Amino acid sequence: MTDTDVKVVYQRPIGLTDVTTHYCPGCTHGVAHRLIAEVLEEMGELRNTIGVAPVGCAVFAYNYFDFDFVEAAHGRAPAMATGIKRTLPDRLVFTYQGDGDLASMGMGETVAAAARGEQITIFFINNTNYGMTGGQMAPTTLPGQKTSSSPLGRDVETQGYPIRTAEMLATLDGASYVVRRSLHDARSIRNAKRAIRTAFEIQKAGLGFSMVEFLSICPTNWGLNAPKSREWLKDHMLPYYPVGDFKVSEEAERVMKEVR
Amino acid sequence: MAKEMIKGNVAVAEAAVRAGLVSYFGYPITPQTELLEYLSARMPELGRAFVQAESELGAINMVYGAACTGLRTMSSSSSPGVSLMCEGISYIYGTEVPAVLVDVMRGGPGLGNISPSQADYTQVVHGGGHGEYHLIVLAPASVQEAIDLTGEAFYLAEKYRTVVVILMDGFLGQMMEPAVLPPFKPVNMESPDYAVAPKEGREKRFLTSINIDAPTQERLNIRQMSKWEEITRNEVRYQGYYLDDAEYVVVGFGTCGRIALTAVREAREKGIKIGLLRPVSLSPYPTEVLDKLAEQAKGFLVVEMNNGQMLDDVVSIVARRAPVHFYGRMGGMVPYPDEISQAIDEMVNSDAGPELDGRAKWLELMRETIGQGA
């Protein structure tokens, strides 16, 4: 026994349940989950929020977040979130989607929600592959990148080009706040958290559609350990998917300054 | 309350509003569009939610989200749009949240046309989407019945936490006739216990259709089947006409059932002891009454605006106790009462036994009288 004073400096946010997740070791889903839970706790919105889980690695996100959740069909989360938000407009409603779910199966629902200026927030995990089904080519897979369904590397002549989702959505008038952040180092993670806060504040103020894209790692399917995955993200993803603010409406700008 | 001339699509829309509809999500498609157009003005006027979705996929998943709040929600569409919605219907059923869908059927397959049809009986009654599910399917035969069944649909959807489909056709959707609208029900904005509608001091809730553990999924399937068993016991609806002493029975639903009634009345005037069974709930089907009729009837005639989709159900229930004749029109064609009268005469004069293949006989007739081609 010791008499030394102890102080808790790091613990599970109350917005996350006390369970072991099914995510692979090193995966940044855990980081993204934690940031969202921390922000909602800080905003005092945990009992005023409904999350919409995707089909993909985050399909069981509702087991990990300790607040109300629904589980959508593949790609349809923005539509489902629309139905919830229009019915309960005073609640915070967000979707949490991967790149296959959002940018392939659900691009129609995503673009339409952004164009309508739907008062929802989308958190978009871009890890350049389909994680849950075992690492197939995604709309975000980089040119030349090997996946289980582009074994020779993505050939843009036959398999087309990656989609820069944030840049694309930023062209829509209904989108109020569309940014890309990365989860590969501590500094980026802190910036990512500020973006989450900004997005939720924008929704709370009724200023329209918001999306935060997170560059994420997938050590298992990339065949790299976590540190090497983070390096790979930095070396390969950041040049193609630059971090930045692609759309910040005038009203959103004001909110963003307050969050800083 | 006075009767007013009102179009089927508009009548259903206003009936839903008066039943306390909180949100509507839809996509334009003929011959259903007036329903969406009407609500695009009516819902905002009352401060309620209306979204014209990007697609039927979007619309049904908006309904899915709204249904997870447990508050009254609906969509409407027509055949090709309902095909797109089948994914969402399966999810909504799997999650056991209440929703109402209006399907104003048109001719198919494919893009088909925009004329009245009943070609989606099988799709809506026996499946459509993936997995094992049973929807409650209600088929009105008049604008008034469509109004009445709309209120009923919301009640049943909530009672059983399931999807209720009002299965109409382009004829009913487009037709104007006098009808009485119901009084306004108060809008309930209090979410039920199972729904997601977070508030302070309440435990987290989540709604999902995934059960990765197969034994758990099977137990859920068993419970959902038990619920369906209860629905089949309690929620059968049908209209019988002249059935008490009927030696012959015509079976038809919706618009076709209504047209058949004219033919049945004419036959009665000629002295033929014939009645009409018009199933109102196509699912659950009025199996028991049909089963009893099969004990007394010399012959059945199924009439539909399709290739004999309900026919298969009738044949299975009659179980070779009497011949089951069939008369149908397809492709968006609506039969005249005369055509059904003729089919009745042929049934009465037929010496066919219970082994009759009604569809094969009908198809032969179609080839001879209408021809095939295009």
Q: In terms of residue numbers, what domain contains A67? A: 29-259
Pair (B76, B178) in one structural domain: yes
Inform me whether the C-beta atom of residue B253 falls under 8 Å from chain A C-beta atoms.
Answer: no
Q: What pLDDT does residue B127 have?
A: 87
Q: Dump pLDDT digits (tens) for A193-251.
A: 999 999 999 999 999 999 999 999 999 999 999 999 999 999 999 999 999 999 999 99
Determine phi and psi for A66, rounding to 5 degrees: -100, 55
Residue A23 forms part of a structural domain: no
pLDDT band at A118 (very low <50, low <70, confident <90, very high): very high
Asked which of B217, B234, B251 is the last residue of a domain, the reply is B234
Inform me whether the C-beta atom of residue B190 falls under 8 Å from chain A C-beta atoms.
Answer: no
Pair (B343, B324) in one structural domain: yes
Contact across the interface for A73 and B87, Cβ inside 8 Å: yes
Residue B32 forms part of a structural domain: yes
Tally of structural domains, chain B: 2
Pair (B22, B133) in one structural domain: yes
Q: Contacts of residue B46 in chain A, CB cutoff 8 Å? A: none
Q: State the best of A87, A122, A132 to mutate against chain B, taking most chain B CBs within 10 Å.
A: A87
Q: What pLDDT does residue A33 have?
A: 98
Tally of structural domains, chain A: 1
Residue B12 forms part of a structural domain: yes
Instruction: Residue B331: count other Cβ atoms within 10 Å of its Cβ.
Output: 17
Residue A4 forms part of a structural domain: no
Pair (B61, B107) in one structural domain: yes
Q: Taking 80 as the threshold, does the pLDDT of residue A260 lie above it? A: no
Q: What is the mean pLDDT of residues A74-100?
A: 98
Pair (B269, B289) in one structural domain: yes
**Which percentage of chain A shows pLDDT scores above 90?**
95
User: Least CA distance to A109: which residue of chain B?
Assistant: B58
Tokens of A141: 């897979």
Pair (B150, B274) in one structural domain: no
Inform me whether the C-beta atom of residue B199 falls under 8 Å from chain A C-beta atoms.
Answer: yes
Q: What pLDDT does residue B373 have?
A: 86
Beta bridge partners of B279: B238
Q: Contacts of residue A172 in chain B, CB cutoff 8 Å? A: none
Pair (B282, B158) in one structural domain: no
Pair (B202, B285) in one structural domain: no
3-state secondary structure chain B: CCCEEEEHHHHHHHHHHHCCCCEEEECCCCCCHHHHHHHHHHHHHCCCEEEECCCHHHHHHHHHHHHCCCCCEEEEECHHHHHHHHHHHHHHHHHCCCEEEEEEEECCCCCCCCCECCCCHHHHHCCCCCCCCCCEEECCCCHHHHHHHHHHHHHHHHHHCCEEEEEEEHHHHHCEEEECCCCCCCCCCCCCCCCCCCCCCCCCCEECCCCCCHHHHHHHHHHHHHHHHHHHHHCCCEEEECCCCCCEEEECCHHHHHHHHHHHHHHHHCCCCEEEEEECEEECCCHHHHHHHHHHCCEEEEEECCCCHHHHHHHHHHCCCCCEEEEECCCCCCCCHHHHHHHHHHHHHCCCCCCCCHHHHHHHHHHHHCCCCC
Q: State the best of A16, A18, A67, A68 to mutate against chain B, taking most chain B CBs within 10 Å.
A: A68
Q: What is the mean pLDDT of residues A110-114?
A: 98
Q: Contacts of residue A86 in chain B, CB cutoff 8 Å? A: 23, 49, 51, 62, 66
Average model confidence (pLDDT) across chain A: 96
Q: What pLDDT does residue B151 have?
A: 98
Name the minimum distance, in Å, from the CA of B259 to any CA of chain A.
39
Q: What pLDDT does residue A256 have?
A: 87
Residue B104 forms part of a structural domain: yes
Contact across the interface for A62 and B208, Cβ inside 8 Å: yes
Pair (B277, B329) in one structural domain: yes
User: Least CA distance to B58: which residue of chain A?
Assistant: A79
Inform me whether the C-beta atom of residue B87 falls under 8 Å from chain A C-beta atoms.
Answer: yes
Q: What pLDDT does residue A61 have?
A: 95
Residue A65 forms part of a structural domain: yes
Residue B374 forms part of a structural domain: no
Q: Dump pLDDT digits (tens) for A3-15.
A: 788 999 999 999 9
CATH of residue B8's domain is 3.40.50.970
Q: Contacts of residue A58 in chain B, CB cutoff 8 Å? A: none
Are B344 and B250 spatial neighbours (Cβ–Cβ below 8 Å)?
Answer: yes
Contact across the interface for A86 and B49, Cβ inside 8 Å: yes
Q: What pLDDT does residue A2 have?
A: 67
Asked which of B190, B219, B234 is the last residue of a domain, the reply is B234
Q: Contacts of residue A108 in chain B, CB cutoff 8 Å? A: 54-55, 57-58
Pair (B53, B189) in one structural domain: yes
Pair (B132, B33) in one structural domain: yes
Q: What pLDDT does residue B305 have?
A: 98
CATH of residue A143's domain is 3.40.50.970
Residue A48 forms part of a structural domain: yes
From chain A, which residues contact B within 8 Å (Cβ)? 47-50, 52-53, 59-60, 62, 65-73, 76, 79-88, 91, 108-109, 111-112, 116
Pair (B268, B144) in one structural domain: no
Q: What pLDDT does residue A1 have?
A: 58
Q: Contacts of residue B204 in chain A, CB cutoff 8 Å? A: 65-69
Q: Dump pLDDT digits (tens) for B11-57.
A: 999 999 999 999 999 999 999 999 999 999 999 999 999 999 999 99
Residue B315 forms part of a structural domain: yes
Asked which of B234, B251, B282 is the last residue of a domain, the reply is B234
Flag residues of chain B having pLDDT under 50.
none
Question: ipTM of the predicted structure?
Answer: 0.95
Q: In terms of residue numbers, what domain contains B349? A: 239-369
Residue B244 forms part of a structural domain: yes
**Which percentage of chain B shows pLDDT scores above 90?**
98
pTM over 0.90: yes
